[in-house]
Amino acid sequence: MDVNAIIIMTGLCVAAYLLGAAPSGLILVKMTTRKDLRKVGSGNIGATNARRAGGWPIGIATLICDVLKGAIPVALAGWMMGSGPGGITRDLWMAAAALCAFFGHLFPVYLKFKTGGKGVATAAGCFAVLSPAGLGLAVTAFVLVAGFSRRVSAGSLAAAAVLPIGVAWFEGPYIIFGCALIISVMVVQRHQANIRRLLMGIEPPLFP
């Protein structure tokens, strides 16, 4: 890999972070309701709280935007590295783009690195490209647990636990597995308040 390619891919990772940092829910809720999403409900800028503040259309729009923030840079990294079996180098750059977009969502520069989201939808976008089968297993876990418990947070935690297992089972490359493991650990860490509320039995349900 030559110097120019390294510069281009580094630029893509920077762009992935800046795209991931775009606070989709905050912008959409502000445009439609004039509310500050950080001061509504849980204060989170993700799709669940956007749905509480602006209704289902805004929640779904936020979800789509957050998924695309992860999928687009990872897909671009894969395309720029070529469609063939790029081996370790290709996996490394795609994983790097995924992590940059994911951490951009968690720690957005536009919000002074504070009040970022929990990263579930952005992680889903990343792994829709990196490991569709692994993501499919995680989504199945999310649907089953969220449906049974009626708590999105419980479903998200289940998906985070299953994602690295699915990636390891279906994909194999240790770089992609490592990326999944880092993201899963961070998703769980960002759900600490939800975990406490779940244990206390006071976590708000998806459908009251």
What distance in Å separates the CA atoms of residue 202 and residue 205, rounded to the nearest whole number? Answer: 9
In a domain, 118, yes or no: yes
4 contact partners, CB below 8 Å, separation of at least 6: none
Residue 193 to residue 48: CA distance in whole angstroms? 15
Is residue 18 in a domain?
yes
Per-residue pLDDT of the chain (208 residues; tens, 9 = 90+): 577 778 888 999 999 999 999 999 999 999 999 999 999 888 889 898 999 899 999 999 999 999 999 999 999 999 888 755 456 688 999 999 999 999 999 999 999 998 899 999 999 999 999 999 999 999 999 999 999 999 999 999 999 999 999 999 987 779 999 999 999 999 999 999 999 999 999 998 876 6
Amino acid at position 90, single letter: R
Considering the domain boundaries, does residue 205 fall inside one? Answer: no
Q: How many domains does the chain have?
A: 1
Radius of gyration of the chain (CA): 17
Q: How far apart are CA 5 and CA 113, in angstroms?
A: 29
CA-CA distance, 99 to 4, in Å (whole number)? 22
In a domain, 207, yes or no: no
In which residue are the tokens 């939808």 written?
Answer: 121
Q: Print the domain residue range for 44.
A: 3-200
Would residue 208 count as lying in a domain? no
